[in-house]
Amino acid sequence: MRGLKAWWNQADEYEWMTAFLRQRGWLRSAQWMMVVVAGSAALVPLTALATQRHPGAALVVVGGLTGVFTVGMTTFWLTRWPTRRQSVVFVTAGALCIAGWSFIQPTAALAALACTPTVVTGGYIAIFHSARAMLFNNVLALVITTMAALRLTHEANFAAALCAFWLIGFLNVSVSLGVRGMSRAMGTYAQRSEEDSLTGLLNRRAFSETVGYRLAYPVRSHTHLAVVMVDIDNFKRINDTQGHPAGDHALKAVAELLRQHAPADAVLCRAGGEEFLIALTCMASDVKALAGQLCTGIGTLSLNLTASIGTAIAELHLLSGSHGTGLLEELITIADRAMYAAKRSGGNRVFHSATT
């Protein structure tokens, strides 16, 4: 029961999956895949309407609405990636169109065939949305499949109806659960591959990718990107005199302090060894206060630690477009130089670079 409850309470994965695709440059490819899926779906009701000699009024209305919806979805996917709310509305409307299309088919065989596209909506939901949405799709598929099977019992025979019911039900359940499992496994793997195993902070590669995504969607009131480089003073002495377990404990303690003091939208990274990076969009004055708090906070840890901190800051408009990644690396270099200047001055202090 505990496992089932955890599965039921799994969060919607739309924002994470969208960020994952965007950070790796796969978002446009995913859009084209959805264009193909939506465009193919549009051919079904349009072909059925074009080939039937005397379609009933219900078939014309539902088929026409389904055709308009699928053509509209194809056009939408050609131009943009939807928001999470739009995605939920679209996939729900798509599942309901499938249900309506199955219900108004003139024969039981066509009604049963018309149930199968819920496998597509179920697979999409399994990748991007919650277990609750997936359950809604599967229950809807079960209802329309049961109705089609009952019609088959009268128009064909019980054996054909039972086979159709189990086959369509099996496809819906197995595909959605299989895709869900693979999606969760991929998410876990991606998260672990992006994290430093000791501190749980991002690694260097994931840091740059995440900051690039944040630069594309900054808080409107923020005007600058700030980079803060933190280096624990005399860390080698801790390892040499107290042992590596003590050094690992110190790294984890500093990482936790950074989490506590940094803004919720800041990007935190263990850059290597005893060095940490923080990037955040902010007002120009915010970074000085944050760096001072970090320096003081590390000094108050019950581990006899101090840190040298360097900062660099640039106006956000300079980091937009294709030059953003290069300028981010430049800011990291500037913050690194400022940190070493603080260390040469005795450590346990902050040096700020000039605003870019």
Would you kindly state where each structural domain of the chain is located, as residue ranges?
Answer: 2-194, 204-352
pLDDT band at residue 143 under the 50/70/90 scheme: very high
Contact between residue 190 and residue 26 where contact means Cβ atoms under 8 Å apart:
no
pLDDT at 10 (0 to 100): 63
Q: Which CATH class is domain 204-352?
A: alpha beta
pLDDT at 77 (0 to 100): 92
* Distance, CA of 210 to CA of 281 (rounded, Å): 12
Smallest CA-to-CA distance from 194 within 181, 185, 203 is with 203
Backbone φ and ψ for 333, nearest 5 degrees, come out as: -65, -40
- Between residues 284 and 276, which one has the greater pLDDT? 276
Taking only the tens place, the pLDDT of each residue in 67-92 is: 888 889 999 999 999 998 999 999 99
Least confident range from 160-169, 175-184, 303-312: namely: 175-184
Compute the mean pLDDT over every residue in the chain, rounded to the nearest whole number: 85
Q: Looking at 211-346, which runs of residues are DSSP E strands?
A: 224-232, 267-272, 275-282, 307-315
pLDDT at 3 (0 to 100): 59
Amino acid identity at 118: T
Contact between residue 156 and residue 110 where contact means Cβ atoms under 8 Å apart:
no
* Distance, CA of 342 to CA of 233 (rounded, Å): 10
Q: Which residues contact 276 (CB under 8 A, 6 or more apart)?
A: 201, 229, 230, 231, 254, 255, 258, 268, 269, 270
CA 98 from centroid of its chain's CA atoms: 27
Average pLDDT over residues 286-314: 90
pLDDT at 8 (0 to 100): 58
pLDDT band at residue 35 under the 50/70/90 scheme: very high
In 3-state terms, what secondary structure has residue 345? Answer: coil
pLDDT of 320 above 90: no
Average pLDDT over residues 215-244: 85
pLDDT at 332 (0 to 100): 92
pLDDT band at residue 54 under the 50/70/90 scheme: confident
Residues present in the chain in total? 356
pLDDT of 7 above 70: no
Q: Which residue's structure tokens are 């819920």? A: 118
pLDDT at 20 (0 to 100): 77
